[in-house]
Structure formats: C-alpha cells, structure tokens
Structure 1
C-alpha cells in the first residue's frame, strides 16, 4: 500500500505542490481549515454575485509560471483583465496606464484553485493542530482530537504564523518561520444599483486609509452582477483597526471611497467587510521552500518568496522538487 503525502493548506502553494507530486505519480491528501479551497485566492459568494475579496489579480514573470498560467487560460480557469487604471495621490485622480498583463480567475478568482484541486483527496473544515512523527510515518491531529495518517511526508502550505505552530517538531525551521511578519488587510465590498459614473476599473491609492480599489464587475465573467467594488485598506490602517467592529470598518472605508470618487456616490445596496489577518508578508524572502528532509517535513507559501500569487505557486513547486529529490 502506498503511504500518501499530507499537504496542509489548499491555497495556490499547497495546490501547486500537490499537482507536481501527483504528476510525478505520488498520492496526496490535502487538508484545509476552511470549507473550500483557495486561501487568499478564494471568492465570496454573495447576493451581489461572486466577490474577489483577497487577491485582486496576478502577474506572471517567471517562465515556468507563464506556462502554467497559459495552461489555466486554455482550461478556461483564467482570463486577462484589461482595467482602466488610475492613481490617486494628494487628492488628484490621474490615469495610470501600463503594459502589464494582469490575470484573474474566471468567472471568479477561486475558479483556479477549484480547477487545480480537481479530484484530489481533500478534507475541508479540518484544522490540523499537531504533527506527530512515529518511527516511520507522520500522523496529524486536528482541533477535534481526530487522528489522520499515516503519511510519508508532510508539506505545510499555510500563512507563516500558522506554520510556526505546526513546526514545533522542527525547531530550526520553526525559528525561521517565526521571523516572518505578515501584514493584515481589511477588505470591503460595495454594490450599487446604478453603475457609478466613472471609467475607472482599478486604482492605486495614496494618502488614504485605502491603498487599492477595483470594480469587481469589470473583470471577465462577472458581467451578470450589479456594479460591485472591492476596496483594500492599507496594512497600517488595518493593523490600527484590527479589532474594529465590521459596521465601523464599513462606515470608515466607504467614507474614504466616497471622498476619493470626486462626485456624490449613492448609498450602496450591499456591503460586506472581511478581515485578512495574514494578507501578505511584510518583506520578501529568497527561500523558495523550507525543508527538513531527514524528518520529511516541508513548508511553502508566498511568504517564502515575493508575497505574490506567482511566489506562492513557485514555492509549492520548490517544496515538491525538494521532496522528490530526497526520494531519489
């Protein structure tokens, strides 16, 4: 009987590692504390349609990732987004066109992780709290005290603060991961009955509690929803207001949005606030993925590299490569 490899986390990093290992002929079992895949690439179903509350778009620079994104596009999971982009600085709104190719999941961001998950063996709504190393194999324990295993190797593909706790069995890795600081982000979705009178689809914001806003409904495949917008607060504002009640977050960020628009905005017909406690790493690293090959324990995620979707995917590839090299 083949002993499977456990992967904790079904964001881009975990699914990237899973795909590489399955392609090499290995069996994997994925775990996630959420009810569905995607992590920060997930989308929120709402009465205003599917909303990308986390990652807003992604770019591809590394040749390997460019090829992967082309594969996603061919499968209909990803599309190019060509937004009218603006900058908002010192109260001035100016067009900010560039040559950058921006990609989004289609018809929602989570289409990509859904596609990558495919028919993989996965247990959702399962928070792994402990890793137990036996003589030959690993066992995982969840928050309800349930035991999962045996597994030959374990890949941890969660945000760094959650990975630190699981890496207690590998103190050297745990201390490296503990040094990673991750920034929070408050996200707010607004929907309007009548489309706002602006050409803007996306805006990089300075001198405001907001640092990004996007017309979610301008993305490919989202045309059957009202005029929806997703706003991201700055890391500094989010940290200062980490425990602010959602009603107050909605009020303050909606106020900042209205101020920025330079014309009277109507009352939204729908609002939704979501707090990403670990939205992005505060600094970039060059780790690729972390490994204790003797233990058969690996860690990957966007925090191992650039904090970008591409970084998460490359980190998952690196974790799988290191594991496969150790098996040779």
Structure 2
C-alpha cells in the first residue's frame, strides 16, 4: 500500500507516523520548507520565536502516553511559566496550573522528531488530485505530478482541504462547514528584559489575546524575546493592514497591557496566520471516503488544540488501516 499525506502539520505527521509504524509506505507533501504547520518557529539573527502554537496540554489517555514517549526522546519538555491574566481590572495571577509542554529547543522539534526518516516533499503545494487507473496522482502548482498513490490523506486547514476533495463531495461539504479564524503573531526582541514578573499572560482586553516571554521556555537562550498574538476578531479587522503597522500596534498594546515603558526594540516582525485556529470544536474525529481511498484530518475535525490534531491524524490512519 502506498499513501500520500498532504500537510506536514501535527495532524498529517500523526497520520503518517501511525501508518509508517504499521509498515505502510508513506510520502508527505507540504507547501512550506519545514514541518510542524502552525507549530512553527521563526529563526532570526536575534534568536528564535515560537510564532504559532505556544504550548500544548494532554488530556486523552493515548495522547498522554505519546507525550511521555516524546519527553523520553527529548523532543518536548514541560514548561511551568509564571502565568497571569490581564483584563480591565489589571494584572492578576492565573490559577490555571495544568501541565503545559513545549518542543525543545524550539516548537518544531516535535514534528522533526516524529517525521524521522519518512520521505518529505517540502516547498511543494499540491493543487489538485487526479484519478488514474493505478490510484491517485497529486498535481502541484507547477503542474508537476507525483504518484500514483493508492490512498490519500489530506491534512491541511479546512479551506485548503475543500478543493482537494472535489471527488468526495460529502467530505468537501463537511470541510466547508469548518470555519477557521485568522490571527497575527508578532515577534519582538528588546534591548533589555522587561521589568515584569511574568512569563506569559492571557489578555482579555484590547487587541491582544496572548503575550509570552519566549525565552522563558526551556532551551531558549535569548533573554528579551517576546511573542504577541492578536485576538481573531482584531485580526479579521486587520487582514490587509501592512505587517509593520500591525507589529507596532501590538507592541503598543503590550505596553498598555503591562502598564510599563518598553525598552528599545532590536527586532520586530509580524506574521499573519490566515487560518490560525478553528472557530468551533467539532466531533468528527476524521473524515473518510474509503470507497474513494480519500481521507481528511486536522484540528478542525476535532478541536483547536494540538492534541486534537494528533488524535484526528491517528484516527484517519486507523480508519485507512481498517482498525475503526
């Protein structure tokens, strides 16, 4: 059996790794140069910034078991931040003490570890699927074809999944129902550490949703690197705002939220996530059309958490293998 997995985020790599462990030949395709999808890190001359997923938690028993193994491999570690909440009443210590995990030395370490020696076609955007007598052909944006593959799993954000599932209208219609929200992520490196006693905060006022001292995570060395994430609503209103303006506005919002004067900035960058996270949780698990040998998975099939993406990928692999 040969399987193509489109998308090298956690859902796609989860599906691929479960199939690989079952002895299936798997090839992974992704439009980016690296792996991890929204579990992304930006490498700069001023250090690294986790600009996507900030951390993850573990609730499902199977996922907790996987997390233990990943810790043993050194791909992830527990992060225990000084966590706060910022709202109209000001700065308050958060009582949320659930275990949080991060990739080490950067978030992408997990996806690289899970990828192992599986073949990855990076910087390859698959635009269409074509049926052939011997299986499915994948066609990229440069009209190059790959395959044939007997089975295909699509593990991309829901809006990008829809056109790849034209041959399976029921699956495509389900993907259309999954709404994704945008987000802006700003990486900012200061000349000196901020005069605050917090590592991260949930923000419940203004344009910010989350602020984090990136250097507080294990394995990070730069002492004054921060990541700021906007709310989905603010991002929706500023989708076409120039990145440098977005960066400055969110830095100004950080100063206001913390109530301090910020040090001089030595690095500033804004990244727009058009599909940052699902608007709502779903309980599909994964989508399957076994008669067509087509499947789809992602956090939008289950929940917006990294755990949901991993579980969705695992379920897609199990259905393909006939174990569910």
TM-score normalised per structure 2: 0.98
* 1:98 Cα deviation after fit: 2.6
* 1:163 Cα deviation after fit: 0.2
* 1:99 Cα deviation after fit: 2.4
* Aligned equivalent of 2:267: 270
* Aligned equivalent of 1:85: 83
* Aligned equivalent of 1:117: 115
* Aligned equivalent of 1:302: 299
The alignment of Structure 1 onto Structure 2 pairs a total of residues equal to 324
* 1:247 Cα deviation after fit: 1.1
Deviations 1:285-308 (A, max 9, x none): 000000000000000000000110
Deviations 1:220-273 (A, max 9, x none): 000x21311101000000000001001110111111001111121122111110
* 1:91 Cα deviation after fit: 4.7
Structure 2: how far apart are the matches of 1:216 and 1:185? 18
**Counterpart check, 1:285 vs 2:272:** no
Let me know the Cα RMSD of the aligned residues: 1.1
Structure 2: how far apart are the matches of 1:69 and 1:57? 13
Map 1:182-201 onto structure 2 (within 5 A).
182-201=180-199
* 1:206 Cα deviation after fit: 1.0
* Aligned equivalent of 1:239: 236
* Aligned equivalent of 2:320: 323
Deviations 1:5-28 (A, max 9, x none): 000000000000011101111010
Aligned to 1:208, what secondary structure does the other structure show? coil
Structure 2: how far apart are the matches of 1:57 and 1:271? 22
* Aligned equivalent of 2:94: 96
Whether contact under 8 Å (1:284, 1:307) holds in the other structure is yes
* Aligned equivalent of 1:126: 124
* Aligned equivalent of 1:205: 203
Aligned to 2:265, what secondary structure does the other structure show? coil
* Aligned equivalent of 1:16: 14
Whether contact under 8 Å (2:7, 2:30) holds in the other structure is yes
* Aligned equivalent of 1:144: 142
Provide runs of 4+ in structure 1 moved above 6 Å. Answer: none
Which residue of 36, 39, 43 maps to 2:37? 39
* 1:135 Cα deviation after fit: 2.6
Structure 2: how far apart are the matches of 1:323 and 1:211? 38
Deviations 1:184-221 (A, max 9, x none): 00000111121111111010111210010011000000
Structure 2: how far apart are the matches of 1:234 and 1:72? 30
Structure 2: how far apart are the matches of 1:266 and 1:99? 30
* 1:134 Cα deviation after fit: 1.7
* Aligned equivalent of 2:161: 163
Structure 1: how far apart are the matches of 2:268 and 2:95? 29
* Aligned equivalent of 2:73: 75
Structure 1: how far apart are the matches of 2:180 and 2:66? 27
Aligned to 2:241, what secondary structure does the other structure show? coil
Whether contact under 8 Å (2:58, 2:307) holds in the other structure is yes
Structure 2: how far apart are the matches of 1:44 and 1:118? 21
TM-score normalised per structure 1: 0.97
* 1:95 Cα deviation after fit: 0.8
* 1:88 Cα deviation after fit: 0.6
Whether contact under 8 Å (1:193, 1:226) holds in the other structure is no
